[in-house]
Amino acid sequence: MKPIAAPVTIAVLGNGRLHRAVVALPDAMGERDRGYQERIVFFEAPRSADAAAHLERLLAAAWCTDTGDWCEHGFIYNVRALGELMERPGQGATRELQLLEIGWGGGVGPDNAHYARTEDVDLFVTPRVAARLRELLAIVDTFYAAAPRSA
């Protein structure tokens, strides 16, 4: 029987261009009766130095809205490159799940963290990066499915 190959890591697939940001939705863009809403957005930018401005342009095109001052007004924040998000040691998916962490303590999974959920994530990445991020999101979904309701 042929062994199953390990997936190519997100670090290799991201090729130094993968970033994550938090985007707070203006009231007019959010779901009704849900209150304050944020999206976790993964995107690839040619350079980290102007990644936030690059994301503003991506969102303007994808969401058909003027996002020209969203960073300045705090709608786009915590823009981080892949290396900044995966600083703790670890191997394989355990290390890669750091990309999805949005809080710690009282959470789920091996690190007892709170993770971004599939329904709150947007991907503006290449197909191979998107596929790997979806695999990681599926792992997070299993953590929450197995967790007590309070998580």
In the predicted model, is pLDDT for residue 149 greater than 70? no
In angstroms, the CA 92 to CA 110 distance is: 13
**Per-residue model confidence (pLDDT) at position 23:** 95
The C-alpha atoms of residue 63 and residue 18 are separated, in whole angstroms, by 20
Confidence tier at 68 by pLDDT (50, 70, 90):
confident
The tens digit of pLDDT for each residue in 3-48 reads 555 566 666 666 678 999 999 987 777 777 776 789 999 999 988 8
CA distance 7 to 17: 19
User: Residue 17: CB partners within 8 Å, gap ≥ 6?
Assistant: 44, 45, 46
Is residue 11 within 8 A of residue 86, CB to CB? The reply is yes
User: Is 85 within 8 Å of 99 (Cβ atoms)?
Assistant: yes
Q: Where along the chain do its domains lie?
A: 10-146
Instruction: Give the model confidence (pLDDT) of 87-144 as tens digits.
Output: 776 666 678 888 999 987 788 888 888 999 999 999 999 999 999 999 999 999 999 9
